[in-house]
Amino acid sequence: MGFLADALSRVKPSATIAMTQKARELKAGGMDVISLSVGEPDFDTPQHIKDAAVAAIARGETKYTPVSGIVPLREAIVTKFKRENGLDYKPSQTIVGTGGKHVIYNALLATLNPGDEVVIPRPYWVSYPEMVVLCGGTPVFAETTMEHDFKLQPEELERVITPKTKWIILNSPSNPSGAAYARDEMKRITDVLLRHPQVWVLTDDMYEHLCYGDFEFVTPAQVEPNLYDRTLTMNGVSKAYAMTGWRIGYAAGPEKLIKAMDFVQGQQTSGACSISQWAAVAALDGTQAHLAEFRKAFHARRDLVVSMLNQTQGLKCPTPEGAFYVYPSCAETIGRTAPSGKVIETDEDFVVELLQAEGVAAVHGSAFGLGPNLRISYATSNAALEEACTRIQRFCGSLR
């Protein structure tokens, strides 16, 4: 009998973390590496949020907090959902976790039984299927295509739903593709879900505030109020407030689900960091002025990267609506030979050879369930992006 749990053999390590670590190792060894593999804003946390954290420390807010979060933060979450999404919740319908991943994991752990299915559109954030497996469920993948901008089509959703389907996980704007659902597109998805009352909706809105141009963000329960009683709307402060290291995610949903998640969290981590929670209160209740600055910078970076990649031999890059990722196809490079002599047979070969030849770190699309593509994060400076894209162009031009 083995010592480690059998479930671990069914779970793959995070490809994004692995590639970021590989880039760090090469950089530590003296290689000039530009990392486009990490999903983290390069901006600093806004000053008023940091000031709120310092003030909380000075007030002695350093004790254990309630499992589901401090009352001022849960009230701020209620206000945020009403102000920005038109959704009415009570504080008792909210929960705070140690990052968005923690919130999703607890929702799945509190609800999944063996045999329960969770629909996950491809490409997906790498952790979704692994969390489903760790919680005893079965991931079921719904296919998307570049022709439909990597957005789930209602016919495909209808095809994959079965009597065993318990959840669908929707992520808009998406990590890894940046694709986001306009109101009419989301309505076509929610119309399907209305016909399947056993299916709950877990919506990951972490990139809500990073949408560009005239695009209007919507979330499922906002588009279809009849789904309110079976939707968990998850969000967090990591991306929009440049607070990745503060580790605060939150969600709102039906009280029976929130109570179950609180029960799980009470035996797992208890409350999130007290100082981080007070900082999150300032993030949600305070000025939102920095968001326009963030969006302007990311919008310009997106346009730069999309333009340069579409001028690259062998790559095709759609223009996403949000987040800070692009998801170009490298299908035309498959079968060609890299400068090392290695024949590129997969998108993973492509990113490995790119890193070794030019010192640019990206993540292969097959890690997100759909290739041959690669995910490039543009959450870094314009100068670094321009240099990285120039290196990618040189690498693709060197393929034989």
Same domain, 217 and 121: yes
Same domain, 113 and 262: yes
> Cα dist. 11→70, 135, 211, 341 in Å?
34, 11, 32, 32
Domain CATH for 336: 3.90.1150.10
Same domain, 298 and 389: yes
Cβ count near 127 (within 10 Å): 18
Which distant-in-sequence residues (6+ apart) come within 8 Å of 236 by Cβ? 99, 100, 103, 206, 248, 249, 250
User: Which of the listed residues 228, 253, 285 is the one where a domain comes to its end?
Assistant: 285
Same domain, 186 and 80: yes
Residue in 223, 230, 383, 236 with CA at minimum distance from that of residue 300:
383
Same domain, 229 and 357: no
Provide the token pair at 396: 């693709």
Same domain, 243 and 173: yes
How many domains does one find in the chain? 2
Residue in 279, 289, 291, 240 with CA at minimum distance from that of residue 100:
240
Same domain, 239 and 262: yes
* pLDDT at residue number 20: 79
In a domain, 52, yes or no: no
Provide the token pair at 182: 């306009």
Range of the domain at 18: 6-44+290-398
Same domain, 255 and 242: yes
Tell me the C-alpha distance between 291 and 184, whole Å.
Answer: 25
In a domain, 109, yes or no: yes
Largest CA distance in the chain: 64
Same domain, 109 and 165: yes
* pLDDT at residue number 333: 98
Kindly give the interhelix angle for 71-85 and 274-285, rounded to the nearest 10 degrees: 30
Cα Rg, the chain, nearest whole Å: 21
Tell me the C-alpha distance between 338 and 350, whole Å.
Answer: 8
Residues of the chain with pLDDT under 50: none
Provide the token pair at 249: 């995610």
Domain CATH for 270: 3.40.640.10
Amino acid (1-letter code) at residue 272:
A
Q: Is the dihedral of CA 388, 390, 393, 398 positive or negative?
A: negative
* pLDDT at residue number 300: 98
Cβ count near 82 (within 10 Å): 12
Same domain, 294 and 338: yes
Tell me the C-alpha distance between 270 and 128, whole Å.
Answer: 22
Residue in 246, 310, 316 with CA at minimum distance from that of residue 284:
246
* pLDDT at residue number 115: 95
Provide the token pair at 94: 């909210």
User: What is the per-residue DSSP string for 229-271?
Assistant: GGEEEEEESTTTTT-GGG--EEEE--HHHHHHHHHHHHTTT-S
Same domain, 110 and 202: yes
